Every structure is written in structure tokens, then in C-alpha cells.
């Protein structure tokens, strides 16, 4: 298999516990279709929380190393990160460092989800404790003396 960026022969390597095809020149990696999910699973096991994978697909300008058909470039999960995929389902091309950006995004997403869950729990606790009145209740209280 050859690199879609510089036509160098790709080397099969273990990367983050996944067997990938890496370009020794540009250091990009080819992930077979299921391997992107395997990489994501390292940071976020719950697939449903990851969100939609593909946003704004458009022609990529490079070809699939498996079938030689043009790849499609897309915004990864609506982030400012553009990955390339084979429309026939062969896999994904990640330029050097994009795998780290994928994992960092998922770690950030987990933190944001945990923060939102914690805030929601605190809000529910305060409502149950009766400490928090709505703005409307406070306004009524001004006029009724309560």
C-alpha cells in the first residue's frame, strides 16, 4: 500500500495498540474502517456520546491507498479538524498528528459532558431542597410579601 500524499510505501506498525499503515516520510497513517473507532474507543468507550462523525464532506484531492478512488475530506465531528475517508468504506487517512487531535477532542468532550452532568445534578438538588425559587416566584414575592 502506498501513501496518498507522497506515494511512499506504507509500513505496518502498532500504534496506540492498533495495527496501522504509516508513511515513513510524512508520518501520516491509514486506518482501516474499524480502526478509527478503535482509536476513539481509547478515550471514549461510549460510542453514542461521540456525536456525528462526518460534517461538510467534499472532494479531498488524494486517493484511497486501497482502491485508488478519490478520498472525501470532512470535518471530524464538527471540529476544525479535517480527515480523509474512503467512500467505499476502506478507511481513513490521518495526516501527522491528527490522531492526537482526535484523542484530545474526545477527552475534552468527556470533560464537557461530565461538567454538564454535574451542573444538572446540582440544579436538581437545589430544586429538591427548595432553596431556589424561579425568577417569576421572586417577582411575585416582592408584591405579595413572601
> Which has the closest alpha carbon to 23: 42, 8, 34, 45?
8
Segment 65-109, tens digit of pLDDT: 999 999 999 998 878 899 999 999 999 999 999 999 988 888 887
> Which has the closest alpha carbon to 30: 47, 15, 43?
15
User: What 3-state class would DSSP assign to 21?
Assistant: strand
User: What 3-state class would DSSP assign to 57?
Assistant: strand
**Taking the domains of the chain in order of start, what are their residue ranges?**
11-129
Query: What does the pLDDT average to over 22-40?
Result: 93
Pair 106, 44: CB distance under 8 Å: yes
Give percent of the chain above pLDDT 70.
77
CA–CA gap between residue 109 and residue 21 (Å, rounded): 27
CA–CA gap between residue 118 and residue 139 (Å, rounded): 28
Q: What is the DSSP string of 80-97?
A: S-EEEE-TTSSEEEE-TT
Q: Residue 39: its pLDDT value, please?
A: 85
Q: Is the pTM value of this prediction over 0.85?
A: no
Amino acid at each position: 500500500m502506498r501513501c496518498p500524499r507522497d506515494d511512499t510505501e506504507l509500513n505496518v506498525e502498532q500504534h496506540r495498540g492498533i495495527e496501522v499503515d504509516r508513511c515513513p516520510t510524512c508520518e501520516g497513517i491509514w486506518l482501516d474502517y474499524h480502526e478509527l473507532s478503535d482509536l476513539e474507543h481509547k478515550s471514549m468507550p461510549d460510542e453514542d456520546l461521540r456525536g456525528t462523525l462526518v460534517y461538510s464532506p467534499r472532494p479531498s484531492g488524494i486517493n484511497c491507498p486501497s482502491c485508488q478512488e478519490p478520498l472525501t475530506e470532512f470535518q471530524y465531528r464538527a471540529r476544525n479538524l479535517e480527515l480523509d475517508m474512503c467512500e467505499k468504506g476502506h478507511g481513513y487517512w490521518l495526516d501527522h498528528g491528527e490522531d492526537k487531535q482526535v484523542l484530545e477532542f474526545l477527552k475534552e468532550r468527556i470533560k464537557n459532558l461530565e461538567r454538564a452532568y454535574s451542573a444538572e445534578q446540582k440544579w436538581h438538588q437545589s430544586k429538591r431542597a427548595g432553596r431556589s425559587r424561579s425568577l417569576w416566584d421572586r417577582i411575585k414575592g416582592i408584591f405579595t410579601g413572601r
